[in-house]
A and B are shown apart, each in its own frame.
Chain A
Amino acid sequence: MTTARRGNPAGDTVLLGVAGLAGLLLIIELMPRLGLVDERFLPPASRIMAALAEEAASGAFWTALSDTLVAWALGLAIAVAAGVLAGLVIGSVPALRALTASTVEFLRPIPSVALIPLAVLLYGTDLGSTLLLVCYAAFWQVLVQVLYGVADVDPVAFETARSFRFSAWARIRHVLWPTALPYVFTGVRLAASVALVLAITAELVIGSPGLGKEIAVAQASEAVPTMYALIVVTGVLGVLINLLARTGERRLLAWHQSVRGEVSA
């Protein structure tokens, strides 16, 4: 057994991870049961699980989940499209870049949640409110990365394209875009996580439809295990989104990783 484990470090890590998770569940199970924490604030893991199963059987849960996912996906898509477009345009026109630099530096650090009153003013408790916050937060993540990407274009590669008389469009399509692509992926990955945080926040605070609203409702009606169950769901969503983004990145950028490998070697 020991030798088998040594021969398989990846399996080892997974095993340790599972053990850690099981340990955490055990602690959450025991703490309220032993009276170390008040059960009203932290119910035992088994009751959270039971609540989770109950939620999974209800239609309202799935509607809320799909509302959150729609807001997340739609907001992310809009932010990525706008961020990439703006990044490519701003990045490839030096004058525009200088013109927008200070504006970007001013707007970017504004926490999206500061826009909640504005969102409510504009869209009330509709999907629009969530979208506004998600788009705002995700947009900057993408824009900043695309700007880095465009700045990373190799002048020699660019002059090569110019010397072969590539059109402006061909230079963007064949030089700028492939160079910026790894950065775009980083931006999308970061934006995807931020978008989820903002989607849940908006639903929680504004009461627009989705998991966040359900969490608030569960808390208000003192259904604490359900509240925890929903929190677990948002956590799982976060993990899945990150996993998806990383896998996509690795698949599509094989050449880039190889180039990087070459440099470090």
Chain B
Amino acid sequence: MLEVKGLRKVYQSGSREVEALRDLTFTVENGDLVCLVGPSGCGKTTLLRCLAGLLAPTAGDVRVDGKAVDGPPEGMAVVFQEYGRSLFPWMNVRDNVELPLKQKKVPKRRRQELIEQSLDAVGLTGSAAAYPWQLSGGMQQRVAIARAVAYEPRTLLMDEPFAAVDAQTRADLEDLVRELWKRLGVTILFVTHDIDESVYLGQRVVMLSSSPTVVQDELLIDLPADRDQLTTRADPRFIALRTRVYEQIQAAKKNAER
């Protein structure tokens, strides 16, 4: 479970202060898939880094599974937006997936199983020996997802993971995330600036305002659990929901301008 209470983050660079997050409060229940949507520059990455224990908040309380975050918490994996830079170019795909498992002291036999299963799950069975830079962007992000999945996290944070891949690949990867979530029962916080993506993927959508950033609204996505790129996106309920999200984000913008 993720709990964020009164989170505030001010970046201090020299004498300049940037208030990336003003006051955020929300929770993500165990096993939930929550999408966090907000305009570019509103502090989504900042929030994620606070949750991942990579960045200390200026004020407020961040808890993962009830424990206050004061460093990267156990049982959490992060998929970064910059997949190309997040994978280690001096290691092939298999070694990239294996290294975090070694750090976690998973026995060798189990490591082999996990690597195979996770590469299978993302459709990269044949690419274990390839180096990341030999793969396309979409495939690289699959490797990053496989690495996170093999780690067997209880919580998975994803930071605009598909912002830089083409539309077709993106649709495939969205379905992959839903499928993995249903199969593994992990808690996922998925960050995106894409309204449609947030509604298609999430069980719940948390909308952030633009800077100074607060939680604008939360919305329960009451679409059926089995989603499909064609039928779900054409579903009148989907369209109604995405309109709601869109309106809220527009309203947030207007508030900010006032």
Choice from B80, B86, B89, B104 contacting A165 with Cβ under 8 Å = B104
Q: Give A237 Cβ to nearest chain B Cβ, in Å.
A: 32
Q: Give B197 Cβ to nearest chain A Cβ, in Å.
A: 22
Q: Judge whether A174 and B88 touch: CB under 8 Å.
A: yes
Interface residues in B, total, Cβ within 8 A: 24
Q: Judge whether B88 and A258 touch: CB under 8 Å.
A: no
Choice from B85, B90, B99 contacting A255 with Cβ under 8 Å = B90
Known A-B contacts A159-B54, A160-B78, A160-B80; A165 and B103 likewise in contact (beta carbons under 8 Å): yes
- Tell me the nearest residue of chain A to B148, going by C-beta: A164
A255 to B53 CA separation, bound complex (whole angstroms): 31
Q: Give A28 Cβ to nearest chain B Cβ, in Å.
A: 48
Is A18 in the interface zone, CB < 8 Å from B?
no
Chosen A-B contacts, 5 in total, with CB atoms closer than 8 Å, are: A159-B54, A164-B72, A174-B99, A255-B89, A256-B89
Q: Judge whether B88 and A163 touch: CB under 8 Å.
A: no
Q: Which residues of A contact B89 (CB under 8 A)?
A: 255-256, 259
A174 to B99 CA separation, bound complex (whole angstroms): 9
1/0 per residue B187-198: CB within 8 Å of A? 000000000000
Q: Judge whether B88 and A178 touch: CB under 8 Å.
A: yes
Is B215 in the interface zone, CB < 8 Å from A?
no
Q: Which residues of B contact A160 (CB under 8 A)?
A: 78, 80, 86
Is B151 in the interface zone, CB < 8 Å from A?
yes
A167 to B131 CA separation, bound complex (whole angstroms): 24
List CB contacts (< 8 Å) of A48-107 with chain B: none
A166 to B52 CA separation, bound complex (whole angstroms): 14
Q: Which residues of B contact A174 (CB under 8 A)?
A: 88, 99
- Tell me the nearest residue of chain A to B73, going by C-beta: A165
Is B185 in the interface zone, CB < 8 Å from A?
no
- Tell me the nearest residue of chain B to A177, going by C-beta: B90
A174 to B98 CA separation, bound complex (whole angstroms): 12
Q: Which residues of A contact B100 (CB under 8 A)?
A: 164, 166
Q: Judge whether A258 and B90 touch: CB under 8 Å.
A: no
Is B76 in the interface zone, CB < 8 Å from A?
yes
Q: Which residues of A contact B134 (CB under 8 A)?
A: 258
Is A38 in the interface zone, CB < 8 Å from B?
no
Is B133 in the interface zone, CB < 8 Å from A?
yes
Is B175 in the interface zone, CB < 8 Å from A?
no
Q: Judge whether A157 and B86 touch: CB under 8 Å.
A: yes
Q: Which residues of A contact B228 (CB under 8 A)?
A: none
Choice from B52, B72, B80, B103 contacting A156 with Cβ under 8 Å = B80
Choice from B52, B78, B88, B90 contacting A256 with Cβ under 8 Å = B90
Q: Which residues of B contact A181 (CB under 8 A)?
A: 90
- Tell me the nearest residue of chain B to A164, going by C-beta: B100
Q: Judge whether A175 and B88 touch: CB under 8 Å.
A: yes
Q: Give B189 Cβ to nearest chain A Cβ, in Å.
A: 13
Q: Judge whether A167 and B103 touch: CB under 8 Å.
A: yes
Is B77 in the interface zone, CB < 8 Å from A?
yes
Q: Judge whether A159 and B80 touch: CB under 8 Å.
A: yes
Is B82 in the interface zone, CB < 8 Å from A?
yes
A41 to B9 CA separation, bound complex (whole angstroms): 76
Q: Judge whether B103 and A255 touch: CB under 8 Å.
A: no
Is B172 in the interface zone, CB < 8 Å from A?
no
Interface centre among A154, A162, A164 (most CB of B within 10 A): A164
A164 to B52 CA separation, bound complex (whole angstroms): 10
Q: Judge whether B88 and A157 touch: CB under 8 Å.
A: yes
Q: Judge whether B85 and A154 touch: CB under 8 Å.
A: yes
4 closest Cβ pairs, A-B complex: A164-B100, A156-B85, A178-B90, A163-B78
Q: Which residues of A contact B74 (CB under 8 A)?
A: 165
List CB contacts (< 8 Å) of B231-256 with chain A: none
A164 to B152 CA separation, bound complex (whole angstroms): 11
A156 to B49 CA separation, bound complex (whole angstroms): 11
List CB contacts (< 8 Å) of B89-111 with chain A: 89-90, 99-100, 103-104
A108 to B106 CA separation, bound complex (whole angstroms): 46
A160 to B54 CA separation, bound complex (whole angstroms): 10
Q: Judge whether B104 and A162 touch: CB under 8 Å.
A: no
A259 to B54 CA separation, bound complex (whole angstroms): 27
Q: Give B47 Cβ to nearest chain A Cβ, in Å.
A: 15
- Tell me the nearest residue of chain A to B81, going by C-beta: A156
- Tell me the nearest residue of chain A to B101, going by C-beta: A164
Choice from B72, B90, B99, B133 contacting A163 with Cβ under 8 Å = B72
A156 to B52 CA separation, bound complex (whole angstroms): 13
Known A-B contacts A156-B82, A174-B99; A164 and B151 likewise in contact (beta carbons under 8 Å): yes
A160 to B86 CA separation, bound complex (whole angstroms): 6
A164 to B86 CA separation, bound complex (whole angstroms): 12
Q: Judge whether A165 and B72 touch: CB under 8 Å.
A: yes
Q: Which residues of B contact A259 (CB under 8 A)?
A: 89, 133
List CB contacts (< 8 Å) of A212-265 with chain B: 255-256, 258-259, 262
